[in-house]
């Protein structure tokens, strides 16, 4: 009995916070746009009965997604940006995590604090702050002009570069923390054993440190990739007209076009795309837990 | 000792494989190794014995190249090893924690060092197979370290460190995690392997029995210094200090003052109302010098009746009997309160033993049974 309750709790949670909203969105994606409130039809009413209601649903919006190349281009471009920024985040995050794990133990809580500290201010404010840094008259350009490194301001804001900077900055802690956790657990005598057996410092790093932090790398990469794929705030604030990301398209369909059904279809497809990395991520976590037992 | 016995340390011509020359190692203010000088010879099985924290691991780590001496010099085969990084030393170490690579199989762990040498694939295969056979791990080659037992892991660590056929193999408490039976088996295995491969072994242990079993020579350490280096039997029979005598095996220590009464012979006055003890010592003691007589319990004879014609005789009451199966250790309290341990073989069944708790007994030993120690 207690067991049943314990198992039921997470499922109820999932049902209330994921499945119910998903079914609602899915239903909207099968509807037609209309000048109504809410702006789609059919609306369910008890008078007409459930069959009449169901008969009006169709997959038109999904077919529409395949007809207009905006959508698949946006998906593809999002995928590209998410992959590329995940790699960048890894390249920036790994050395930081490595440095933290190697730091004297009395420093580590402080370093950890510094990594988490940005979460104490609103994400939106921090992205706006980046606009202030990256704009033509922003701090970065003023600084570079000031020291005479450049004579013309760099155009960074409203380009993909700014989007990459934004994503790397925002999701860096999600990359650092799992890698740090993996490196922290790594037994230092393994590196010494590798050197003892003829490895240089560098090859010991490749042959021992990297493989043994693999799970941290994988976990961190998924934690960055998954939210980056559907990211909306960063591309709309830092990106330009040329930045095509599915999150932005979704927002425009909802709020500019008020086409809820197509927007919902976009969301459902995005979710289906995300299921693959989420499942892979779960697998990785399970494998890790098994290995630790 | 006959001339064919292995004893290069007695040969003034022999050149040592390892020389520690006045080596000091400090961690901050803390002196871990204190002005240590020692020679270790090729093909030796050299044991470092001492309490936890006395600097055994630090010595090993300096040989392996993970620590550098603060002062002094370490030579390996006549060359100063200070500038040689760990990966370029013909030295391999078996770590106290084994340090097996958890992401690699047993086979890959053993092959790890060989692959770094750019050895041809076939040779690597042959060598790994040979090591697996030697350590009887053939069946576990494909397993990961977490899928085998502690004893097997220890053998993998040994195989891995032996695979490169190092000139010098360092074993840091290699058998610490094993239960007694497996431990003894492995000790003999180690000696076997050492004989077969001719590698020089330096083994760290805090188990004196283990050191005595495997080693050609034993160094007893304390606080970063070597107190005595000698063969196991010399260490046991002629310790050079109370510390060594006490560290190796059981011993009775009797404090007293020496009075010379003949060539290499002394009378030791030690307690009110007791006649002086007779002790022989090649080492000179001056009149009235403070000294300690160290006598092993098995060299003390226990009798119910007063024996005749013995050098030293005391009477006491049995306080305690430790029954060890083949032998028993009797704790005998003298009138002065001193407790002396005596060991006797249990040649009769317990029920027919001629003395038991609370019985008054006589303890006796010869003048040469004990060692006279200054400190
Ligand atoms: N890296 C280090 N920093 C500071 N102190 C150390 C370090 N390594 C060892 N020590 C100290 O040196 C002493 C000897 O250590 P060790 O050689 O490991 O002893 P053991 O004989 O038990 O192997 C210990 O007191 C230990 O605390
Ligand atoms: Mg140690």
The answer to whether A195 contacts B101, with C-beta atoms less than 8 Å apart, is no
Nearest to A221 by CA among A85, A58, A69: A85
Identify the residue with better confidence: A245 or B274. Answer: A245
Q: For residue A217, give how far its alpha carbon lies from the nearest alpha carbon of chain B (Å).
A: 15
For ligand 1, atom 4, name the residue with the nearest CA. Answer: B27
pLDDT band of B4, cuts 50, 70, 90? low
- Hey, what are B320's tokens? 């305690």
The verdict on residue B33 lying in a domain is yes
**A18 Cβ contact list (under 8 Å, min separation 6):** none
**Residue B103 has what pLDDT?**
93
Q: Domains, chain A, ranges and CATH?
A: 1-58 (no CATH), 65-292 (1.10.3720.10)
One domain for residues B149 and B286: no
Q: Please state, in angstroms and as integers, the Cα–Cα distance from residue B139 to each residue in A125, B12, B127, B147, B258, following that order.
A: 61, 47, 16, 12, 63
Does residue B251 register a pLDDT over 70?
A: yes
In a domain, B156, yes or no: yes
Across the interface, of B101, B103, B117, the residue whose CB is closest to A198 is B117
Residue A126 has what pLDDT? 94
Structure token pair of residue B55: 């600097």
- Measured CB to CB, residues of chain B less than 8 Å from chain A are 64-66, 85-87, 91-93, 95, 97, 99-103, 112-113, 116-117, 146, 160-161, 164
> Which whole number is the average pLDDT over B189-196?
86
Nearest to A127 by CA among A236, A223, A220: A236
On whether both B84 and B190 belong to a single domain, the answer is yes
Residue B53 Cα to ligand 2 middle (Å): 7
In angstroms, how far is the first alpha carbon of chain A from the final one?
Answer: 28
A212 and B112: CB-CB below 8 Å?
no
Least Cα distance to A194 among B108, B138, B146 occurs for B108
Co-location of B256 and B220 in the same domain: no
Tokens of B104: 């690699």
Tell me the residues surrounding ligand 2 (ion) with CB < 5 Å: B 57
Asked if B278 and B328 sit in the same domain, the reply is: yes
- What confidence score (pLDDT) does residue B2 get? 46
Q: Give the count of Cβ contacts less than 8 A between chain A and B.
A: 57
B183 falls in which pLDDT band (50, 70, 90)? confident
Output the residue whose Cα is nearest ligand 1's atom 5. B27
* Shared domain check, B213 and B117: yes
- pLDDT for res A1: 73
B188 and B256 co-located in one domain? no
Residue B92: its chain A contacts at CB < 8 A?
A: 196-197
- CA-closest residue to ligand 1 atom 9: B58
> How far does the CA of residue B113 sit from the closest CA of chain A (Å)?
5
Q: Which of B13, B179, B168 is nearest to B93 (CA)?
A: B168
The model's pTM is 0.80
| Domain contains B20 | yes
Of B86, B117, B146, the CB nearest to A196: B86
Residue B193 lies in a domain: yes
Residues B317 and B230 placed together within one structural domain of the fold: no
Residues B238 and B270 placed together within one structural domain of the fold: no
Residue B125 resides in a domain: yes
Residue B332: which CATH number? 2.40.50.140
Regions of chain A where pLDDT drops below 70: 292-293
Q: What's the token pair of residue B62?
A: 């300096």
Mean pLDDT of B178-202: 85
Q: Do B99 and A192 touch (CB under 8 A)?
A: yes
Name the residue in chain B with its Cα closest to that of A290: B146
Provide the pLDDT for residue B312. 92
Q: Is residue B318 domain-shared with residue B362, that is, in the same domain? A: yes
Nearest CA in chain A to B114: A197
Q: B-chain residues within 8 Å CB-CB of A200?
A: 87
Are B33 and B159 members of one domain? yes
Indicate the burial class of B365 (C-beta count within 10 angstroms; 0-12, 13-18, 19 or more). Answer: buried
Residue B282 structural domain: 250-373
ipTM over 0.85: no
Question: Within its chain, how far is the Cα of B308 from the centroid?
Answer: 38
Q: What is the DSSP letter of A16?
A: I
Contacts A214 to B, Cβ<8 Å:
103
Question: Do residues B179 and B281 share a domain?
Answer: no
Question: Is residue B2 domain-resident?
Answer: no
Range of weakest confidence among A114-128, B154-168, B270-284? B270-284
Distance between CA atoms of B198 and B216, rounded to whole angstroms? Answer: 13
Q: What is the mean pLDDT of residues B354-375?
A: 89
**Token reading at B336:** 């002065």
Say if ligand 1 is within 6 A of residue B56 CB: yes
Distance from C-alpha of B73 to C-alpha of B63, rounded to nearest angstrom: 11
Instruction: Work out the average pLDDT over B208-234.
Output: 93
Residue of B nearest to A291 (CA): B146
Task: State the smallest CA–CA distance between residue B280 and chain A in angstroms.
Answer: 50
Q: Reduced to 3 states, what is the DSSP secondary structure of residue B347?
A: coil
Q: What does DSSP say about strands B360-365 and B312-323: parallel, antiparallel, or unpaired?
A: antiparallel
Q: Indicate the residue among B243, B260, B289 that finishes a domain.
A: B243
B150 lines ligand 1 (CB under 6 A): no
CA atoms within 13 A on the CB side of B136: 7
Residue pair B210/B169 in contact by the 8 Å Cβ criterion: no
Q: Residue B236's domain is classified under what CATH number?
A: 3.40.50.300
* Residue minimizing CA distance to atom 17 of ligand 1: B55
What pLDDT score was predicted for residue B1? 44
User: What is residue B229's three-state secondary structure?
Assistant: strand
The ligand with the least distance to the CA atom of B32 is 1
Chain center to CA of B19: 20
The percentage of chain B sitting over the pLDDT mark of 70, rounded to a whole number, equals 98
Name every residue in A having a CB less than 8 A away from some CB of B.
187, 189-190, 192-200, 203, 207-208, 211-212, 214, 291
Total tally of structural domains belonging to chain B: 2
Contact B58, B164 (CB under 8 A): no
Q: What is the mean pLDDT of residues B122-129?
A: 95
**Inside any domain, residue B1:** no
Last residue of a domain, one of B191, B216, B243: B243
- For chain B, give me the number of helices (H) and strands (E)? 8, 20
Q: Are A266 and A254 in contact (CB under 8 A)?
A: no
Nearest partner of A166 among A178, A175, A157, judged by Cα: A157
- Please tell me whether residues B232 and B256 are part of one structural domain: no
What is the rounded end-to-end Cα distance, in angstroms, of chain B? 28
* Last residue of one domain, picked from the residues B198, B220, B243: B243
Could you tell me if the CB of B52 is within 6 A of ligand 1?
yes
Contact in structure between A264 and A61 (CB atoms under 8 Å): yes
The single residue listed with the structure tokens 């003052």 is B257
In a domain, B3, yes or no: no
């Amino acid at each position: 009995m207690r067991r049943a309750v314990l198992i039921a709790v997470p499922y109820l949670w999932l049902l209330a916070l994921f499945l119910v909203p998903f079914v609602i969105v899915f239903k909207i994606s099968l509807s037609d746009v209309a000048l109504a409130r809410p702006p789609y039809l059919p609306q369910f009413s008890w008078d007409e009965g459930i069959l009449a209601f169901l008969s009006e649903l169709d997959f038109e919006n999904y077919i529409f997604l395949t007809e207009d190349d905006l959508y698949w281009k946006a998906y593809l471009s999002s995928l590209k940006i998410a992959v590329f920024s995940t790699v960048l985040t890894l390249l920036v995050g790994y050395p930081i995590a490595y440095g933290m794990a190697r730091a004297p133990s009395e420093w580590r809580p402080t370093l950890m604090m510094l990594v988490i500290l940005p979460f104490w201010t609103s994400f939106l404010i921090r992205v706006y702050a980046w606009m202030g840094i990256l704009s033509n008259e922003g701090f970065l350009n003023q600084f570079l002009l000031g020291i005479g490194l450049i004579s013309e301001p760099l155009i960074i804001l409203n380009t993909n570069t700014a989007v990459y900077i934004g994503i790397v900055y925002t999701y860096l802690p999600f990359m650092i923390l799992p890698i740090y956790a993996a490196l922290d657990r790594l037994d230092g005598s393994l590196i010494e054993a590798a050197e003892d057996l003829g490895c240089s410092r560098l090859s010991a790093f490749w042959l021992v440190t990297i493989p043994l932090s693999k799970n941290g790398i994988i976990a961190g990469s998924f934690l960055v990739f998954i939210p980056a794929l559907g990211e909306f705030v960063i591309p709309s604030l830092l990106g330009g007209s040329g930045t095509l990301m599915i999150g932005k398209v979704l927002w425009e369909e909802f709020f500019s076009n008020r086409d809820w059904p197509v927007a919902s279809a976009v969301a459902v497809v995005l979710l289906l795309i995300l299921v693959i990395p989420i499942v892979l991520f779960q697998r990785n976590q399970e494998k890790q837990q098994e290995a630790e037992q | 000792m006959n001339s064919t016995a292995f004893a290069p340390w007695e040969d003034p011509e022999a050149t040592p494989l390892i020389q520690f020359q006045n080596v000091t190692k400090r961690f901050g203010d803390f002196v871990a190794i204190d002005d240590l000088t020692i020679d270790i010879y090729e093909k030796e099985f050299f044991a470092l014995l001492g309490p936890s924290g006395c600097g055994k691991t630090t010595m090993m780590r300096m040989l392996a190249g993970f620590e550098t001496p603060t002062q002094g010099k370490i030579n390996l085969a006549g060359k100063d090893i200070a500038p040689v990084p760990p990966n370029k030393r013909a030295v391999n170490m078996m770590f106290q924690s084994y340090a097996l690579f958890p992401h690699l199989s047993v086979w890959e762990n053993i092959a790890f060092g060989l692959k770094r040498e750019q050895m041809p694939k076939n040779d690597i295969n042959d060598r790994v197979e040979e090591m697996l056979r030697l350590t009887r791990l053939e069946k576990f080659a494909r397993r990961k370290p977490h899928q085998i037992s502690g004893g097997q892991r220890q053998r993998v660590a040994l195989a891995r460190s032996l695979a490169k056929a190092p000139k010098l193999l360092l074993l840091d408490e290699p058998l610490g995690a094993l239960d007694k039976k497996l431990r003894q088996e492995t000790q003999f295995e180690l000696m076997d392997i050492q004989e077969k491969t001719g590698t020089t072994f330096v083994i760290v242990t805090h188990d004196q029995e283990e050191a005595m079993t495997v080693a050609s020579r034993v160094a007893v350490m304390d606080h970063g210094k070597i107190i005595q280096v000698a063969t196991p039997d010399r260490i046991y029979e002629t310790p050079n200090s109370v510390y060594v005598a006490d560290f190796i095996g059981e011993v009775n220590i009797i404090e007293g003052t020496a009075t010379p009464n003949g060539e290499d012979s002394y009378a030791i006055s030690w307690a009110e109302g007791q006649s002086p003890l007779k002790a022989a010592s090649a080492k000179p003691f001056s009149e009235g010098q403070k000294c300690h007589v160290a006598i092993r319990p098995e060299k003390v004879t226990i009798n119910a009746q007063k024996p005749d014609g013995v050098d030293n005789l005391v009477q006491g009451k049995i306080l305690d009997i430790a029954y060890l199966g083949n032998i028993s250790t009797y704790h005998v309290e003298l009138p002065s309160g001193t407790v002396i341990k005596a060991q006797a073989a249990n040649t009769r069944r317990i029920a027919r033993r001629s003395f038991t708790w609370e019985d008054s007994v006589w303890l006796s030993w010869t003048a040469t049974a004990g060692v006279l120690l200054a400190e």
